[in-house]
Structure 1
């Protein structure tokens, strides 16, 4: 059974049709990526799932129930870490849990269980400005997954990092995901990132966006520890061809 399902979803903002007939599904423990041209509406899908925007037509369900009946189904990580600079790292990590009504003590106890795996032991009392970009992204990801929502929504979480840090974060995240099997939906512009991390990839058309391809990634895990295989390279080329056919010479 799918944890998340979108059926024939459409969104029009003003006079602009943004999404048209979007259908997707995400099973428990699955890693899904969404690729598409700039401005196609990838982040709009996340706005729908987090309740920031309402769809005009179609249906969205989480755990078999309409989205409106399950607003706690998703934890969201934006493109940048969005850590509050005046709060120490531990207090940033507990914020989502405290908003849900958990006591500060219980929230801290839960967060402490994850600090080692996220490489943040010893940095609990630091402020965000005292951490590297990669450490801040790990903190933002921990703040997301510690909420134990059914689905994790990641909106280009590594896009603001330099190339070397981004590669390290992708490798680190793949290792964490293989252990925990978080149900994950990733929005990305990076074809190689999608192939490296995903079980399946949805490709969107130009606006108004519809799903023009659903591609399974057959390459065995772990992937980030290996050189790019001929199979992965061929899949990257296939996805790039689909995107270029949508956009001409611009993505």
Structure 2
């Protein structure tokens, strides 16, 4: 059975405020899918539902063919900020998720140490977060996320706090890592160009209460080297038109 995530007509209210209005989407194994929408549209609410941070929602959420509530949460979440603990070294931060799962400190450190070179962190194992650049902190946070060996990565605007040049470099690096490992990824972003550059498919959400305006397949070949190619720019312009002048829900 495929390890597929599916949301069907998911809704959520906070008091008398509707946040999600019948969200339907799916993520197939090995896909890179983005949820794109305006700030405050409820994108992060979807992640809170998936990770167990919220309950009391309407609709259905299935993973691996079963209701999500009946299964161990299969997600590893990388939040908007790197959330590295300043008093722990980089290797101890990267190993934290494994320790929380019950692995010994030594075993967790040994497992993450073998990945430091691949993540561009070799030689920084015993540094502290304050001694790293913003991009390196994000790499350490992603390492902490993927090393947990969960079925799906949830990335919540992971590069939003970075400067433009660093963000572009991290987007290209993430594409390279995804090409190599074929992680299953669900990304939240409000950056249209980032979504087009990284994704196999994009769900475009409306303003709150959020509904799916469009599901857009990205036909660009990989690896993608130019964030501003004519083909990518045309898709980006189409998405911007949807966000600025939303029409009734449709599929593309």
TM-score range, shorter chain: over 0.9
Aligned to 1:168: 169
Residue deviations 1:38-95 (CA, integer Å, cap 9, x gap): 1110010010011001142111111122112223300000111000000111110111
In the alignment, the residues of structure 1 paired with residue 56 and residue 64 of structure 2 have an alpha-carbon distance, to the nearest angstrom, of 19
CA contact 1:36–1:189 (8 Å) conserved in 2: yes
The residue that corresponds to 1:126 in the other structure is 127
CA distance in 1, matches of 2:109, 2:59: 40
What residue is the counterpart of 1:21 in the other structure?
22
**Map of 1:242 onto structure 2:** 242
Which runs of 5 or more residues in structure 2 are unaligned?
A: 248-252
Change (3 A) 1:142 1:227: closer
TM-score using structure 1 length: 0.95
Report if the CA contact (8 A) 2:32-2:199 is conserved.
yes
Matches within 5 A, 1:84-233: 84-223=85-224, 225-226=225-226, 228-233=228-233
Distance 2:89 2:175 in 1: 27
Q: Is the 8 Å Cα contact of residues 197 and 227 (structure 2) preserved in structure 1? A: no
Deviations along 1:98-132, one digit per CA (max 9) or x if unpaired, are 10111112211211221111011111110000001
| C-alpha RMSD of the superposition | 1.3
Cα distance, 1:161 vs. partner?
A: 0.3
**Structure 1 outlier segments of 4+, above 4 Å:** none
List per-residue Cα deviations over 1:208-231 (Å, max 9, x = no partner): 1111100000000111x2363222
Gap regions ≥5 residues in structure 1? none
How far apart are 1:246 and its partner, in Å? 4.0
Provide closer, same or farther for how the CA distance between residues 55 and 236 of structure 1 changes in structure 2, counting only shifts above 3 A.
farther
Distance 2:183 2:68 in 1: 20
Task: Give the paired residue count.
Answer: 246
